[in-house]
Amino acid sequence: MPVIVVTDSSAGVPAELAARLDIRTVPLHVLIDGVELREGIDPMPVDYTAAAASTSAASPGDLRDAYKRAYAASGGDGVLGVHISRQLSGTWEAARHAAADLDGPVRLVDSLGAGLGTGFPAIAAARRAQAGADLDEVYRTATRVAERARCFIVVDRLEQLRRGGRISTAAAVFGTALITRPLLHIVDGRIALADKARTTSKVFDKLIAAAVRAAGEAPTAIAVQHLDAAPRAGEVVEQLRTRISNAGEVIVAEFGPTLGIHLGPGAVGVLVIPDQT
């Protein structure tokens, strides 16, 4: 039996692809008016601008149960957990405790990212597992893809990221006081301010340019995620296909609630992974 990959719901792996690759997903949680809901499982009508909405990590119990089931399904070959950056969520720490409770081999990868920045390492690892690779090689594949990933994000407002503690107050003031549009990126697992522009069109020009530079000349996998911004995301995809000469796999998806609450409506993210193999 192949090694089984477990990730969390923030990864945004499309359901059909997750089913085909047997990627197991553990839900993160959204708290709305004191009610805790599981992402991807419970109905979740979310007002993404409401201050009352917040998020929490996957629980150690849910992770432990997922790892146990995955280990049984692997026939003893082992489990790889690929999770959202430990700088952005407590899920990694919960996963570490859950894995320590199990007798079978479970290895963990900090994706250093979020959204499909977590999803792509999980997808690559699951493909390698289905090709017959052992746990060490599956682990190296996920780690290699996570290290190569470059993620850029445009948001309408930084207030929600600041309020959730995902970006510093200084950066939030920098983005709003000067009436600029921020371009963010993820560096060492943290969200940071990469650049700014005066207008929406200019910040998206900077987003495209940054992604093209990061891709270089190597064959590159691309993901574009958005929240309530499908037309803009479609324009970004078309420009990336045109300007990245070696564009390979392209995934387009919406941000789920646990990321959407922090990014807000209108957010568009681009992930590029040069030389994913």
The alpha carbon of residue 42 and the mean position of all alpha carbons in its chain are separated, in whole angstroms, by: 20
Beta bridge partners of 254: 226
To which residue do tokens 């309408």 refer? 156
C-beta of residue 62 within 8 angstroms of C-beta of residue 95: no
- Distance CA(162)–CA(170), nearest Å, equals 9
Three-state secondary-structure class, residue 11? helix
CATH 3.30.1180.10 residue ranges for the chain: 150-274
- Length of the chain measured in residues: 277
CATH 3.40.50.10170 residue ranges for the chain: 4-147
- Tell me which architecture the domain covering 150-274 has in CATH: 2-Layer Sandwich (3.30)
Digitized pLDDT (tens) for each residue of the chain, 277 residues in all: 799 999 999 999 999 999 999 999 999 998 887 888 898 898 877 777 666 778 889 999 999 999 999 999 999 999 999 999 999 999 999 999 999 988 889 999 999 999 999 999 999 999 999 999 999 999 999 999 999 999 999 988 766 666 555 555 445 545 554 547 889 999 999 988 899 898 999 999 999 999 999 999 889 999 999 999 999 999 999 999 999 989 888 999 999 998 988 888 899 999 999 975 5
- Here the tokens at position 276 are 């994913």
Q: How many CB atoms lie within 10 A of CB 28?
A: 28
- Distance CA(138)–CA(98), nearest Å, equals 20
pLDDT, tens digit, for every residue of 233-248? 999 999 999 999 898 8
To which residue do tokens 């553990």 refer? 26
- The pTM of the full predicted model, rounded to 2 decimals, is 0.90
Assign domain 4-147 one CATH number from 3.40.50.10170, 3.40.470.10, 3.30.1490.100, 2.60.40.10.
3.40.50.10170
Three-state secondary-structure class, residue 24? strand
- Of 152, 118, 168, the residue nearest 267 (C-alpha): 152
pLDDT, tens digit, for every residue of 179-228? 478 899 999 999 888 998 989 999 999 999 999 999 998 899 999 999 99
